[in-house]
Amino acid sequence: MHGRLLVTGFGPFGSVTDNPSARLAEGCGELYRILPVEFEACDRFALQPVSPPIDTVLLMGVAVSRRILTLEMVAWNRIRPTPDAAGNVRRGLVWPESDPWRAGNLWTPEVLSAVLRPGLAVMGYCPGTYLCNYLYYRMRAAQPRLRVGFLHVPPFEHLARTEQAAWLQDLMQALRS
């Protein structure tokens, strides 16, 4: 890794009162930021230069129905009309007149070979149609010089916090290499 790494997680929303992505971001030992589950907050974060200057961003969010960690390979240019935590709704395209999808550029073959583990961490191609996907697409479109990847984490009752945190440390090491 060259330069600085920033890790993000999301705050509470809906039935998720203690978001595991926030807890993992706080405990990862890197610069981190917890984002409200709101379209406007995601836009402010994605569209403005990050301070202090960084060159790598690991975005994280919870996928309440998943049981393993998922390194999302792409972000889709679509959003379903689901209210954010502030009650705001967006629908249609994440970024009008843009590509139908954007690939993450953080998941290099070296990183993938270091952290993919059957039953624990896999590649995914479905980052959803809510704020996780929205933020991922916005970051890739607005900040093309940044290395950006998205990680979906399961709830701690599906995969223990200690196991996720240990795996996340392996990921941080792979990103530093």
Say what the pLDDT of residue 1 is. Answer: 41
Domain spanning 5-176: CATH 3.40.630.20: yes
- Tokens for 95? 């970024």
Say what the pLDDT of residue 3 is. Answer: 65
Say what the pLDDT of residue 94 is. Answer: 96
Say what the pLDDT of residue 12 is. Answer: 95
Q: What is the pLDDT along the chain (177 residues), one digit of tens a residue?
A: 446 999 999 999 988 999 999 999 999 999 999 999 999 999 999 998 877 789 999 999 999 999 999 999 999 999 999 999 999 999 999 999 999 999 999 999 999 999 999 999 999 999 999 999 999 999 999 999 999 999 999 999 999 999 999 999 999 999 988
The overall pTM is greater than 0.85: yes
- Tokens for 24? 């993992």
Give the strand pairing for 121-124 and 69-72: parallel
